[in-house]
Structure 1
Amino acid sequence: MASAILHLSSSSIFSPSFRTYRPSLSQNAYLSKPLRIKASTSLDYGKTSVADQSPTSMKTNNWQWKFKDTTINIYYEEHEKESSVPPKNILMIPTISDVSTVDEWRSVAKDIIQRVGKVNWRTTIVDWPGLGYSDRPKLDYNADVMENFLVDLMNSPNSPLSSLDNDLVVFGGGHAATLTVRAAKKGLVKPTAIAAVAPTWAGPLPIVFGRDSNMESRYGLLRGTLRAPAVGWMMYNVLVSNENAIQSQYKSHVYENSENVTPDIIESRYALTKRQGARYVPAAFLTGLLDPVQSREEFVGLFAGLERRIPVLVMSTSGAPKRSKAEMEALKEAKGVSKFVEVPGALLPQEEYPIIVAEELYRFLHETFELKN
């Protein structure tokens, strides 16, 4: 998801007279070839499950993640239903952007836990450090820091996932999906399945302007400016932290249908950009420091590294921006991708079309963990 609205040209980046520009962004029964499915907007829930009327609950809490000499409060939610059947757990990780939040997964989480099947699903949604409702300290954020967070979250004995069994499924959006796949390829985490929803790998500026040495130096200058004590807030307020900019993002490339962008959504996302330290992660994301890889070849290679190891669903979207769509489509025939589907939406389908996304995700879970038995 784009995290800012800028005009940056290769010849005059950071010119005092810049204009605005909107960069576009970016199964356990193993299949011999990836399935390719185009999801319908008129899905039949009865084919995979029916809704359970058992009482459900949502619990919120904070986990203290220790990174070097800094302790960071990490916000998370747990969604489950009353059941005598031991639960199987899903970790849901939000898409990385300046308005990243657990809110984007909440409707999907509530939908899935109410399904009736052989498995009693339980979900945990976690905000990234520096984003959402988590603390936002002034760290030198990069892809390695975020990967380290994921590894600690999934492996540390004191994490909110420590009391769960080892059969953890991970759903991630955008960069979150690719960071999860990267950590899994390295063997640092061992989920039993991964769903990559509208996966991306390039930040807003690199995907538009590239990564030559001249551009990298300009990204560094912009990043340093955004992190500066006084001028940083001024620039962040102009470029990101205002309701017009956020609304423009959502209508141009975050949502597929601009009519789905409500005042309530804009107001709640605007409030997130006003939290203390809000500009630090966006400064890194915008300029490519959170990119898990540097090329499409590396991106495809990450998924290939999971072939025959972990079932992987890739969920593309019909209305994604052209450049991001091309990266998603590159995974259609990729090794390591067990199943490929397309759903409506742009860069945040789990928030814009939660019912459709939940149906496809549950179908993947059903095929992976129920049909095989």
Structure 2
Amino acid sequence: MSVSIAMASSAAFSVSSSCCTLPYKIYRSFQPHKAHFLKPISVKASSTSLENQPIPLKTGNWQWKFKDNFINIYYEEHERESPKPPKNILMIPTISDVSTVEEWRSVAIDIVQRVGKVNWRATIVDWPGLGYSDRPKMNFNADVMEKFVVDFINAPDSPVSSSENDLVIFGGGHAATITIRATKKGLVKPTAIAAVAPTWAGPLPIVFGRDSSMETRYGLLRETLRAPGVGWMMYNVLVSNEKAIQSQYKSHVYANPDNVTPGIVESRYALTKRKGARYVPAAFLTGLLDPVHSREEFLELFADLKGKIPVLVVSTKGSPKRSKAEMEALNGAEWVSKFVEVPGALLPQEEYPTRVAEELYRFLLENFEFSA
């Protein structure tokens, strides 16, 4: 299965004691904010069921305590004014070098504008080490990322904390699979999950496998990327340059190369220049953030949720071959409540937000609004 957001099956990888080459992929960014309220914005509706009115956007930082680290986690909230109490949606970005809340923003605005029986509030959160969250030098792995999701949802001071069990989770790429793994363990208890272009294998493992020889090479690359001096040099060559970002966006992050504008490339490039930017990508690229290690384990995660909560899988028409195969393995599975396909590749919620929002809102209607 091809990598989670911005790097994937086109990687060319060779590591020896003296050399490592691998073009790989990424993406985006936007102006960081301290906790405050932004000027209300108005978004043109894509459906007659939408109400075209201003939506207040709140941004802030939530402090995550992990071991001896206190990490500022960036998030933003979208909510339409309504007398009805809101029901929460947590949107989690796909993990990649340029992962950020912005990939979900248009979808969030679209959904919360819709007027129905349920008043939806959307919270989008950046991963630790990515987006506009702090990027400490830590040993990131799948367990750390799962712990973050669990703590963010369950903490008494969490932006999505609630006295009722009313949380719906939308996740892209690895985020979806990590969330489902935590749900299977009973660590989080969402009322529904939507997995958008779900992935489970990092860019290099999906292409080159996980035998002992390759794992040794991944370890060498990972430690080199994390090292002072030479790590930044290698990161700048492989990741943090506009040509590489543009190439990978066009090859498999977006389905339509014409959608990869200079503005997108510039903003994604800016993310790669933030302090500590290389630590999570070093782990992701080499498979340390993979929540499972085989398709069988991937399918078992979903199978364990059968009959417990609704699960939507959103596949994409233009996904890289390996990633597409993993998504298609979920098509027709009795434990997947609904399987749909939309345009796009590894980041459909950003490239085709209106289509993705339509499918996600239909899922919400079928499971919550029709029965409300």
TM norm structure 1: 0.90
Match of 1:247 in 2: 246
Match for 2:316: what amino acid? Answer: T
Instruction: Determine the C-alpha separation between the residues in 1 that align with 2:168 and 2:338.
Output: 15
Match of 1:321 in 2: 320
For residues 275-286 of structure 1, the aligned pairs below 5 Å read: 275-286=274-285
Q: How far off is 1:100 after superposition?
A: 0.2
Match for 1:336: what amino acid? Answer: W
Q: How far off is 1:18 after superposition?
A: 5.3
Instruction: Determine the C-alpha separation between the residues in 1 that align with 2:107 and 2:25.
Output: 28
Match of 2:310 in 1: 311
- Structure 1 pair 8/92, CA: closer, same or farther in 2 (3 Å)? same
Match of 2:85 in 1: 86
Match for 1:238: what amino acid? Answer: V
For residues 1-373 of structure 1, the aligned pairs below 5 Å read: 1-3=5-7, 6-9=11-14, 13-14=15-16, 16=18, 20-22=22-24, 45-46=47-48, 50-163=49-162, 165-373=164-372
Contact 2:6 2:346 in 1 (8 A): no
1:69-116 deviation per Cα after TM superposition (whole angstroms, max 9, x unaligned): 000000000000111111111000000000101000000000000101
Contact 1:3 1:99 in 2 (8 A): no
The more displaced of 158-167 and 100-109 is: 158-167
Partner of 1:56: helix, strand, or coil? Answer: coil
Q: How far off is 1:346 after superposition?
A: 0.0
The more displaced of 362-371 and 159-168 is: 159-168
Instruction: Determine the C-alpha separation between the residues in 2 that align with 1:53 and 1:215.
Output: 53
Q: How far off is 1:7 after superposition?
A: 2.8
Match for 2:191: what amino acid? Answer: T
Instruction: Determine the C-alpha separation between the residues in 2 that align with 1:45 and 1:250.
Output: 29
Partner of 2:315: helix, strand, or coil? Answer: strand
- Structure 1 pair 20/224, CA: closer, same or farther in 2 (3 Å)? closer
Instruction: Determine the C-alpha separation between the residues in 2 that align with 1:370 and 1:289.
Output: 39
Alignment length, in residue pairs? Answer: 349
Match for 2:370: what amino acid? Answer: L
Match for 1:359: what amino acid? Answer: E
Match for 2:115: what amino acid? Answer: V
Q: How far off is 1:51 after superposition?
A: 1.1
Match for 1:208: what amino acid? Answer: V
Contact 1:153 1:159 in 2 (8 A): yes
Contact 1:53 1:114 in 2 (8 A): yes
Contact 1:14 1:222 in 2 (8 A): no
Instruction: Determine the C-alpha separation between the residues in 1 that align with 2:280 and 2:137.
Output: 9
Instruction: Determine the C-alpha separation between the residues in 2 that align with 1:6 and 1:16.
Output: 19
Larger relative contact order (CA 8 Å, sep ≥ 6): 1
Match of 2:39 in 1: none
- Structure 1 pair 265/353, CA: closer, same or farther in 2 (3 Å)? same
Partner of 2:56: helix, strand, or coil? Answer: strand
Match for 1:260: what amino acid? Answer: N
TM norm structure 2: 0.90
> Displaced runs of 4+ in structure 1, greater than 6 A?
none
Match for 2:185: what amino acid? Answer: K
Instruction: Determine the C-alpha separation between the residues in 1 that align with 2:314 and 2:65.
Output: 33
Contact 2:11 2:203 in 1 (8 A): no
Identity over aligned residues, as a percent?
75
Partner of 1:74: helix, strand, or coil? Answer: strand
The alignment yields a C-alpha RMSD, in angstroms, of 1.8
Instruction: Determine the C-alpha separation between the residues in 2 that align with 1:232 and 1:334.
Output: 43
Contact 2:11 2:204 in 1 (8 A): no
Q: How far off is 1:16 after superposition?
A: 4.5
- Structure 1 pair 216/17, CA: closer, same or farther in 2 (3 Å)? closer
Instruction: Determine the C-alpha separation between the residues in 1 that align with 2:80 and 2:52.
Output: 9
Match for 2:189: what amino acid? Answer: K
Contact 1:303 1:335 in 2 (8 A): no
Unmatched 5+ residue regions in structure 1? 25-43
Contact 1:194 1:311 in 2 (8 A): yes
The more displaced of 260-269 and 318-327 is: 260-269
Instruction: Determine the C-alpha separation between the residues in 2 that align with 1:158 and 1:329.
Output: 38
